[in-house]
Chain A
Amino acid sequence: MAATESDGRKHHIGIKQGEVGRYVLLPGDPDRVEVIASRFDNPKFVMRRREYTTWTGELDGVPVACTSTGIGCPSTAIAVEELADVGVDTFIRVGTSGSMQQHIKPGSIGVVSGAIRDEGTSRHYLPMEFPAVADLDITLALREAAKESGFPWYVGIAQSKDSFYGQHNPERMPIAEDLQRRWKAWMAGGAICSEMEAATLYIVAATLRVRAGGAMLILGNPDQRPMTEAEIAECSVDRVIDTSIAGLRKLIAADRAAGRIK
């Protein structure tokens, strides 16, 4: 049971039971919440506390919400715990990430089927041997949406890291060789993109018996080479926002068909 204030609001996110439905999109950036929620029917601001901004709305008549997690797994775990406690059982991460394969070009969409637990939060839940795996139905819905988007898309593993600059400027870190050696291993294992929240989202969701998945816009290059202007022009975050909304609609339709929506 996540901590609750006397007015019924969860300690960090400031949301109370009944304010959000079961479906939540999770960007990292609080400023991206309104942008996402503007795709909902009847979008409405609900709350802002710390890095947690929440808007709600409807898709095909079903209540949906969007809450920012802030950057990183520690704040993401709190958001997931507190949202689950007010009735959310389906979490879809949406955001940006870095390419981890030479053939994956900036502007591609990555559907994250599993995550490398290269972070410190998820081990407070389960030993490292346990895999961070996305929910099958969410992954299928996002893959269908990515296929229909017309943009290049990939399904695969994300690296969830705790240090942004450890990825982008490994050479200046005291543990440079370890960072570079491990980055090479993740690439050899076929990881498609690097981000900062999915592993903990999936592990916390596993322990709470809720569903989680994610779609990322993939930017940059695996050798950290700066993007060209032409590559930058491909990197509108609208691509992944529209894909995640389309995927969520498909999931809602599938849930309805399976009798999982009252």
Chain B
Amino acid sequence: MAIFEPDGTVHHLGLKKGDVGRYVLLPGDPGRVEVIARRFDNPGFVAQKREYTTWVGELDGVPVACTSTGIGCPSTAIAAEELHAIGADTFIRVGTSGGMQPGMQTGDLAVISGAIRDEGTSSHYLPMEFPAVADLDVVLAMRDAARERNVRHRVGVAQSKDSFYGEVEPERMPISEDLARRWKAWIGGGAISSEMESATLFIVSATLRARAGGIMVCIGSPSMTHEESQASMKGFSIDPVIDTAVHGLRMLIARDRAAGA
């Protein structure tokens, strides 16, 4: 299967060379793409196929895009591969996640420096010993953006899981004891955020020599009861993480420009 269709579009995303620049924000939810792209200058819809919706625009005169990955690593790998094939080389995941360290609050941002490969896609690329690590400059830009915007944040490792309900309702799974034991290990290792796409994004990017990173808003924490977690959602907004990601992308673009990249 070639990536490109005879009409020059990539197989799953419906995009062609020239549609996007090198910088792409990657939410999971197609419904969130327009919300993000409205922060760009001259936002415009480009394509929608399956779970992949793409809008483009500009930041500080540079073309940027936003494409949804859908939920999970299998569809994320396809998005990263096809976006790279049409010229993107910088991927920034933005979305929601579960807080994993005691003391975290709903609304805290997690700048993702690495990811636990608790998923099935990245092992089709590299053996499990290979670490899923974010690009240093993307991480730095996101941390600086969170600092400048004065949002509570941490830098750290995300758990990238394949099963949403295996995380939130592990007790009803036949392998509940394994899930609980591993969850405890991830927290023991200091993981800060549980989500579903970063590990594969980072590993696929490593093989493509593209840059990838991510910033997530966290909901709940292990020290909250279910009721406390629910209550903490009062007044929750996705806006701070989007605004911080866009601000961080502006900083990255400025630094790339200064470096002559």
Give the interface of A toward B (CB within 8 A).
113-118, 125-133, 136, 139-140, 143, 155, 157, 182, 185-186, 188-191, 199, 203, 206-207, 209
Contacts and interface: CB of A to CB of B under 8 A. Distances in A.
Nearest to A128: B128
Given A131-B157, A207-B189, A189 B130 contact: yes
27 contacts: A113-B133, A114-B131, A115-B131, A117-B129, A117-B131, A126-B186, A127-B182, A129-B199, A130-B185, A130-B189, A130-B191, A131-B116, A131-B132, A131-B133, A131-B157, A132-B131, A133-B114, A133-B131, A139-B136, A140-B140, A157-B206, A186-B126, A189-B203, A189-B206, A190-B206, A206-B157, A206-B189
Contacts of A140: 136, 140
B interface majority secondary structure: mixed
B113 interface: yes
Nearest to A182: B127
A155 to B, nearest CB: 6
Contacts of A127: 182, 185
B126 A207 contact: no
A136 B206 contact: no
A80 to B, nearest CB: 15
B118 A113 contact: no
A114 B114 contact: yes
Interface size class of B (residues with CB under 8 A): 20 to 34
B117 interface: yes
A136 B157 CA distance: 11
A interface majority secondary structure: mixed
A189 B207 contact: yes
Interface of B: 113-118, 125-133, 136, 139-140, 143, 155, 157, 182, 185-186, 188-191, 199, 203, 206-207, 209
A136 B143 contact: yes
A190 B131 CA distance: 11
Nearest to B190: A206
B120 to A, nearest CB: 11
A155 B126 CA distance: 19
B157 A130 contact: yes
Contacts of B117: 129, 131
Nearest to A129: B117
A30 B182 CA distance: 37
Nearest to B129: A117
A156 B82 CA distance: 24
B188 A207 contact: yes
B139 A136 contact: yes
Given A128-B129, A155-B136, A206-B189, 9 more contacts: A113-B133, A116-B131, A126-B188, A127-B185, A131-B133, A132-B131, A133-B157, A136-B113, A207-B189
Contact of B127 (A131, A185, A190): A185
